[in-house]
């Protein structure tokens, strides 16, 4: 499996691109509804079949539950081409979210326009926005990867969220996330690679 890194095209302080996407059952969910009244929001671009996502999916559910108590929201988005990768279909998204213990929305970006707006490159790819919708962190969940021995902890994302809650900048440097490339529809691969 090819390992693709984050792009870091969104910069500190940049506003979150707006979106409204359906969850796996077709219910629309908007960015504004996810951030409203929250101290922050984590947006994770993921999919069902990628080993890099499978590796940390359960721990992501636990981290999200912990920070929900501090009014930080989480949302997952799948932008993969389901025609060529049917394992990532909305129906399978519902099942994957349940099996992973996700209590947060898991949305389907069929047009792939949201992934492009965030310059997402891989699954998983993480973004943290503060209560004003400004980017405070982008990068990896932690430094573990599948097949390399260590269990996931979410250490990097945890530190970034804790710093945000304490009014501090996220620790630097930001280490890129890495994983499977987003499965773009034929002819739709974005120009921000390379």
Asked if the structure places residue 192 within a domain, the reply is no
Cα–Cα distance measured from residue 77 to residue 114, given in angstroms and rounded to the nearest whole number = 9
In which domain, by residue range, is 47 found? 4-181
Residue 109: which CATH number?
A: 3.40.30.10
* Count of domains observed in the chain: 1
Asked if the structure places residue 46 within a domain, the reply is yes
| Residues of the chain with confidence (pLDDT) below 50 | 194
Supply the pLDDT for residue 41: 98
Asked if the structure places residue 189 within a domain, the reply is no
Question: Is 43 buried (19+), middle (13-18) or exposed (0-12) by CB count in 10 A?
Answer: buried
Supply the pLDDT for residue 192: 66
131 touches 164 (CB < 8 A): no
Supply the pLDDT for residue 188: 84
């Amino acid at each position: 499996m090819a390992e693709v890194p984050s792009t870091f095209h969104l910069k500190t302080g940049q506003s979150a691109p707006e979106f409204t996407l359906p969850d796996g059952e077709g219910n629309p969910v908007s960015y504004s509804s996810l951030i409203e009244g929250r101290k922050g929001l984590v947006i994770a671009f993921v999919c069902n079949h990628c080993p890099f996502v499978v590796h940390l999916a359960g721990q992501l559910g636990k981290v999200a539950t912990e920070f929900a108590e501090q009014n930080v929201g989480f949302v997952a988005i799948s932008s993969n081409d389901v025609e060529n990768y049917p394992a990532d279909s909305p129906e399978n998204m519902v099942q994957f979210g349940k099996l992973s213990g996700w209590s947060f929305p898991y949305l389907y970006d069929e047009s792939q326009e949201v992934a492009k707006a965030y310059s997402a490159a891989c699954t998983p790819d993480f973004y943290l926005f503060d209560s004003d919708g400004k980017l405070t962190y982008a990068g990896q969940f932690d430094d573990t990867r599948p097949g390399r021995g260590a269990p996931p902890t979410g250490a990097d994302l945890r530190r970034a969220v804790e710093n945000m809650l304490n009014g501090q900048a996220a620790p630097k440097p930001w280490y890129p996330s890495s994983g499977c490339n987003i499965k773009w529809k034929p002819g739709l691969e974005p120009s921000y690679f390379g």
